[in-house]
């Protein structure tokens, strides 16, 4: 897909002042200013995140009530059920809370809804199970903010709810004992972008504070939290940056047995980045819920024995391989159904596996850049996932179609939904109308945010060492992208990979040539041949081969 390069601008006076204040060149200070770092103290917090930078968990609305109710349950020996969705954020949340509360009580169990029988969110079936097994308290993680009817149903059965969620609230808030969600209008918590696991961690932090448990004792859960932050694509700013920074240290220095086994399966070696976790570990955890059941993910994340963890990892790896095959086949079918003339895409089939429709939606956007919904069918209901394009509020669009939906929930860029089959045509028509009326011309064109246009000769190992310190990368702190003009290939450019779909160039510089790789860009080779000049968009990376490490550019586009 041909994307436009949107080169960011910054205040040149601010860049110059920060450069002098920090003693760094203006390339670095420009990158910092674009990320909201404009003073020495900002830079200190950015490059040296501290646990002390975390906010007091009791600033979250409802935290006192949540802690009091859990303490009462522990004191009375009540049975507690930990509930979470089947994705990475949900299963890491459940594993984390289960491990923590397990130190206080054995009257504890966890519940992950079946993706196919119950769907996302809190199910009535789970509440019936809780009543049957005599659980009197359910702690819901990464879900529940819109479960008004379910919480009322549970209350009528004398089951209390504590909700830890980060999704956008609806008009009505469930009447639970406590609802912890920084996105509530009347919640004054300073940071709004926590993952579901992050909200759960604040509850653990609050209980620990009240029980005078040292933070180091709960630091072991930060590996799960870093995984959730990366996989759920929340902002890498504020508290999330602190939590991910220390979580990645745990993953790299002493990962729990389950994560260690999954890392081995991924084939990753050396120090892992959050990107390695997102693309190497998270899909495997998700595969358990997509192909079999999300409780398999919790099982491996709470397993203490490394040999048992390796056995569980083998099963999850098989699920992941199945997921890849389904993903590829369904994507091929779905691509043939797309109406080029529409501003949105809604496709469905009764033969599609519900577990991979979210991945397929993302794949379709890579080819046809517009808000996309992929649905699978079961028992006259269509359930699926929606994905958006940059700047377009998908959640708001679905809200305008709410009267045609059985249920939905999610974020600006990703959501889940269920629609009755008899309402499908009306929904497709209404969704297209909403999108067509509100999407801008700019939002219909894929773009790459570029930090800076730079002479390729300024890309040096020293600059890369500084850029590495900007990690962990993610939304609002993505890996810096650059544009360099009028570059030439040394004559060693070629298509690589099994199917020759990738592009490898060796670009000329004033010192020594620099290698570059463009995944899926094999067809661009002709733009670089015969010593012709071309422009490139790229990030700076390094290549490890045969024990040698060298600078490498990761190409994003060639013009």
What's residue 353's pLDDT?
86
**Polymer length in residues for the chain:** 559
Per-residue CA distances from 506 to 141, 462, 492, 497, 553 (Å): 49, 20, 6, 16, 10
Say which DSSP state 471 is in: P
Please report the pLDDT score of residue 1 as a whole number. Answer: 63
Q: What are the tokens at 488?
A: 């030439």
How is 8-72 classified by DSSP, letter by letter?
----HHHHHHHHHHHT--HHHHHHHHHTT--SHHHHHHHHS--GGGSPPGGGSTTHHHHHHHHHH
Mean pLDDT computed over every residue of the chain:
94
Cα dihedral across residues 494, 499, 502, 504: positive or negative: negative
Backbone angles phi, psi at 410, to 5 degrees: 150, -145
Q: Which residue has the tokens 């009306």?
A: 426
- Going by DSSP bridges, is the β-strand pair 160-164/178-180 parallel, antiparallel, or unpaired? parallel
Residue 497 main-chain phi, psi, to 5 deg: 100, 165
Average pLDDT rounded to a whole number, residues 290-299:
88
DSSP letter, residue 355? G
Q: How far apart are the C-alpha atoms of 494 and 512, rounded to whole Å?
A: 19
Cβ-based neighbour number of residue 328 at 10 Å:
13
For residue 395, what are the contacts with CB-CB under 8 A and spacing of at least 6? Answer: 168, 410, 411, 412, 415
- For 471-521, write each residue's pLDDT tens digit: 999 999 999 999 999 999 999 999 999 899 999 999 999 988 999 999 999
Count of CB atoms situated within 10 Å of the CB of 176: 26
What integer pLDDT is reported at residue 292 of this predicted model? 80
Q: In this model, does residue 102 exceed pLDDT 90? A: yes
Over residues 58-73, the mean pLDDT reads: 98
Cα–Cα nearest to 368, from 400, 392, 384, 345: 345
Between the CA of residue 47 and those of 344, 448, 468, 532, what are the distances in Å?
41, 25, 10, 40
Q: Is the pLDDT of residue 74 over 80?
A: yes
How far is 300 from 88, CA to CA, in rounded Å? Answer: 12
Q: Which long-range contacts (CB under 8 A, 24 or more apart) does 334-339 make?
A: 334/360, 334/363, 334/364, 334/374, 335/364, 335/367, 335/368, 338/364, 338/368
Q: What is the mean pLDDT of residues 8-22?
A: 96
Residues 26-43: tens digit of each pLDDT: 999 999 999 999 999 999
- pLDDT mean over 42-55: 96
Domains detected in the chain: 57-254 (3.90.1640.30), 337-444 (3.10.310.30), 449-558 (2.40.50.460)
d(CA 293, CA 497): 34
Whole-number Cα distances in Å, 154 to 84, 175, 203: 16, 10, 22
Per DSSP, the three-state class of 487 is strand
| Among candidate residues 497, 547, 487, 492, the one with its CA nearest the CA of residue 518 | 497
DSSP 399-449: HTTGGG-SEEEE-SSEEEEEEEGGGHHHHHHHHHHHHHHH--TGGGS-EEE
Reference 150, options 135, 166, 164, 161; nearest CA is 161
Are 188 and 61 spatial neighbours (Cβ–Cβ below 8 Å)?
A: yes
| pLDDT band (50, 70, 90) for residue 378 | confident
Q: Among 284, 167, 162, which Cα is nearest to 227's?
A: 284
Give the SS3 label for residue 390. coil
Question: What DSSP string runs through 286-327?
Answer: HHIIIII-THHHHHHHH---HHHHHHHHHHHHHHHHHHHHHH
Q: Residue 121: which H helix or E strand, with range? A: none
Number of Cβ within a 10 Å radius of residue 331: 19
Summarize pLDDT for 418-464 with one digit per residue, the tens.
999 999 999 999 999 999 999 999 999 999 999 999 999 999 999 99
The tokens for 281 are 């570990």
Mean pLDDT of all residues in 263-281? 90
Helices 295-302 and 306-335 pack at an angle, to 10 degrees, of 150
pLDDT at site 457: 95
Considering the entire predicted model, what is its pTM? 0.90
Spatial CA neighbour of 536 closest among 483, 491, 494: 483
Residue 545's pLDDT band, with cuts at 50, 70 and 90, is confident
pLDDT tens, position by position, 165-199: 999 898 999 999 999 999 999 999 999 999 999 99
pLDDT at 7: 96
Instruction: Determine the pLDDT at residue 39.
Output: 96
Predicted pLDDT of residue 233: 85
**Alpha-carbon Rg of the chain, whole angstroms?**
24
Average pLDDT estimate for 399-424: 90
> Quick one: 491 exposed, middle or buried, by C-beta within 10 A (0-12, 13-18, 19+)?
middle
Contact (Cβ atoms closer than 8 angstroms) between residue 376 and residue 357: yes
Comparing 93 with 271, the larger pLDDT belongs to 93
Q: How many angstroms separate the CA atoms of 459 and 37, rounded? A: 22
Place of tokens 């397990």: 102
Q: State the average pLDDT over residues 365-371.
A: 93
């Amino acid at each position: 897909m041909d994307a436009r390069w949107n080169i960011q601008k910054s205040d040149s006076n601010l860049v110059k002042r920060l450069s002098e204040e920090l003693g760094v060149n203006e390339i670095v200070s420009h990158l910092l200013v674009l990320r909201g770092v404009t003073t020495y103290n900002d830079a200190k917090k950015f490059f040296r995140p501290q646990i002390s930078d975390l906010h007091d968990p009791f600033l979250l609305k409802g935290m006192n009530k949540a802690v009091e109710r859990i303490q009462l349950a522990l004191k009375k020996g009540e049975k507690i059920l930990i509930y979470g969705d089947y994705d990475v954020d949900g299963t890491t949340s459940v594993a984390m809370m289960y491990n923590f509360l397990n130190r206080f009580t054995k009257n504890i169990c966890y519940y992950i809804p079946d993706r196919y029988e119950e769907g996302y969110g809190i199910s009535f079936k789970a509440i019936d199970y809780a009543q049957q097994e005599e659980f009197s308290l359910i702690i819901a993680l990464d879900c529940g903010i819109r479960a008004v009817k379910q919480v009322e149903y549970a209350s009528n059965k004398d089951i209390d709810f504590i909700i830890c969620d980060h999704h956008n609230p609806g008009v009505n808030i469930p009447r639970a004992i406590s609802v912890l969600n920084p996105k509530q209008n009347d919640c004054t918590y300073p940071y709004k972008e926590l993952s579901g696991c992050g909200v759960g961690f604040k509850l653990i932090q609050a209980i620990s504070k009240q029980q005078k448990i040292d933070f180091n004792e709960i630091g072991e859960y930060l590996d799960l939290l870093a995984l959730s932050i990366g996989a759920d694509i929340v902002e890498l700013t504020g508290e999330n940056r602190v939590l991910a920074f220390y979580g990645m240290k745990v993953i790299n220095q002493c990962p729990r047995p389950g994560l260690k086994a999954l890392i081995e399966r991924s084939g990753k070696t050396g120090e892992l980045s959050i990107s390695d976790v997102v693309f190497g570990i998270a899909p495997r955890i998700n595969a358990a819920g997509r192909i079999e059941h999300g409780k398999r993910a919790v099982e491996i994340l709470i397993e203490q024995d490394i040999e048992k963890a390796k056995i569980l990892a083998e099963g999850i790896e098989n699920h992941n391989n199945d997921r890849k095959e389904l993903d590829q086949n369904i994507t091929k079918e779905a691509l043939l159904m797309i109406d080029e003339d529409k501003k949105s895409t809604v496709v469905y089939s009764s033969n599609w596996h519900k577990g991979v429709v979210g991945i397929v939606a993302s794949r379709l956007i890579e080819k046809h850049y517009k808000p996309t919904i992929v649905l699978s069918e079961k028992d006259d209901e269509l359930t699926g996932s929606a994905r958006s394009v940059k700047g377009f509020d998908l959640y708001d669009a679905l809200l305008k179609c709410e009267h045609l939906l059985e249920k939905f929930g999610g974020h600006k860029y990703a959501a889940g939904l269920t629609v009755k089959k008899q309402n499908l045509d009306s929904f497709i028509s209404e969704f297209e109308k909403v999108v067509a009326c509100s999407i801008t011309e700019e939002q219909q064109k894929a773009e790459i945010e570029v930090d800076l246009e730079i002479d390729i000769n300024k890309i040096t190992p020293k600059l890369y060492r500084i850029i590495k310190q900007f990690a962990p990368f993610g939304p609002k702190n993505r890996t810096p992208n650059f544009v360099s003009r009028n570059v030439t290939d040394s004559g060693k450019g070629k298509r690589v990979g099994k199917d020759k779909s990738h592009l490898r160039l060796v670009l000329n510089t004033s010192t020594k040539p620099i290698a570059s790789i463009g995944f899926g860009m094999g067809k661009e080779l002709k733009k670089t041949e015969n010593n012709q000049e071309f422009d490139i968009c790229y990030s700076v990376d390094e290549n490890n081969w045969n024990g040698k490490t060298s600078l490498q550019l990761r190409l994003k586009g060639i013009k």
